[in-house]
Structure 1
């Protein structure tokens, strides 16, 4: 092949080393360009994600406060700002904290042989009951938002009082059992008679002398078996002290949780503050205004 001056130039063959080096150089340059583009893309994505995260964290400062949400909250507070009602709720919350602190001790010690611990439970339950009565009396001054709220509140106070009385009754019964066992041991020591393993005297010979003979004996034995089965059935149908304890614990625990739900729902039970009365405000809002 010749150029325009008539000189001949050799044509580069596809198999020549020069052609291979040229292709290799082009491929390397293209690969480097792609890698550089990918790196810039990743850097851009990271920077963009960081800016988005910062904007989300400081959205109130960057974009201003969420006016609609804040106004909605203020409207709810204005309709439920009765100070007595809000104070009553806070008092019940304090009472629930005291009960939940006592709950593990009731679980472990109520039916134990530790008379001192059982008496401590009785004393604290009595204080809880007294505080519950005080809060219930105070709740009469609260303005409630709905007509049914007053009945719901009274029912709740009565229910918790009843379940606390069950706890106290179990404590009294357990203390009485411990006292009876103590007196029995003292009596046996005084009489100088060793206690039987089953706690009963051996009256087998005496009972044998009293048994009549013949068919009457068979009839009597059948009657005894029937009475024994009925007694076992009756005992089985009754709840044990442990079952009664667990039932009361669950009932009181659930009652305090339901009270929390009662005043945390969208339909808050508190009403508006009376005219001329200082309305209730959230603690954080009170601090901000000072």
Structure 2
């Protein structure tokens, strides 16, 4: 390689190096700019949080007395112990049913005689518990007349669904024991479908009951004079 060619190569290399250095400097400048902007954003956010906490310190860790006062006012006119007791008992029944629902679903039409018999007894027990609670409806103080009819209808619906489960388990037991059973008719022709419908209806009815006393006007009235009012537990 002669002297001119060597000079040209060195010149090209110098240009490439300079270009690379310029690109690095530009990238470093962009990085610093991004860091500065991000720092500014974080500082602004922290500043706002600090200002908000400083101006709300008095109420930040203190109960909302206005809300509590409102709840006490509502409780004072909805504390009939019979009505509130009905709600508490049905809530407990719903929790117990939820624990047993899968067992009922899996065994009401199963092949294990002991498990099917347990389903029958469980359904009968739920019917009995609902019946006992329903007998208290007439003595409850309710804020609207329609609420009593709604309660009576609801207990009637639940009794019907658990009756079907009880009869379904009883029929399955007879089949397992080789006893004669009548030919199924109507919805009873497809037993698995009937079982699923009944279980779904029970779930929906419990959900409807929760909505009945949690959404809108509370159904319970005030405790009668001379009667110890209901108070929340815990």
User: 120, 138, 141: which is aligned to 1:140?
Assistant: 138
Q: Are positions 1:273 and 2:229 aligned together?
A: no
Instruction: Write the distance in 1 (CA, Å) between the matches of 2:128 and 2:37.
Output: 75
* Greater shift in the superposed pair: 157-166 or 99-108: 99-108
The offset of 1:41, in angstroms, is: 7.3
1:60 aligned residue = 59
Instruction: Write the distance in 2 (CA, Å) between the matches of 1:54 and 1:246.
Output: 57
2:178 aligned residue = 180
Matches within 5 A, 1:11-22: none
Residues 125 and 53 of structure 1, relative CA distance in 2, 3 Å threshold? farther
Residues 53 and 247 of structure 1, relative CA distance in 2, 3 Å threshold? farther
Residues 54 and 236 of structure 1, relative CA distance in 2, 3 Å threshold? farther
Instruction: Write the distance in 1 (CA, Å) between the matches of 2:137 and 2:150.
Output: 12
Q: Output one character per residue of 1:56-99: Cα deviation in whole Å (capped at 9) or x when no partner.
A: 6x66357x654543333222212211111111100001111111
Instruction: Write the distance in 2 (CA, Å) between the matches of 1:54 and 1:122.
Output: 63
Instruction: Write the distance in 2 (CA, Å) between the matches of 1:235 and 1:46.
Output: 71
Instruction: Write the distance in 2 (CA, Å) between the matches of 1:75 and 1:163.
Output: 38
Q: Are positions 1:241 and 2:174 aligned together?
A: no
Residues 138 and 40 of structure 1, relative CA distance in 2, 3 Å threshold? same
Residues 237 and 124 of structure 1, relative CA distance in 2, 3 Å threshold? closer
Q: Are positions 1:43 and 2:27 aligned together?
A: no
Residues 277 and 51 of structure 1, relative CA distance in 2, 3 Å threshold? farther
Q: Output one character per residue of 1:146-198: Cα deviation in whole Å (capped at 9) or x when no partner.
A: 100111100001110010000011111111111228x9xxxxxxxxxxxxxxx
The offset of 1:272, in angstroms, is: 0.6
Residues 105 and 77 of structure 1, relative CA distance in 2, 3 Å threshold? same
1:3 aligned residue = none
Instruction: Write the distance in 2 (CA, Å) between the matches of 1:87 and 1:130.
Output: 17
User: 147, 156, 159: which is aligned to 1:158?
Assistant: 156
Q: Is the contact between residue 165 and residue 195 of structure 2 (CA under 8 Å) also seen in structure 1? A: yes
The offset of 1:40, in angstroms, is: 7.0
Segments of structure 1 that go 5 or more residues without pairing to the other structure are: 1-31, 184-233, 285-290
TM-score by length of 2: 0.73
TM-score by length of 1: 0.60
Residues 41 and 264 of structure 1, relative CA distance in 2, 3 Å threshold? closer
Matches within 5 A, 1:75-154: 75-154=73-152
Q: Are positions 1:74 and 2:24 aligned together?
A: no
Residues 59 and 153 of structure 1, relative CA distance in 2, 3 Å threshold? farther
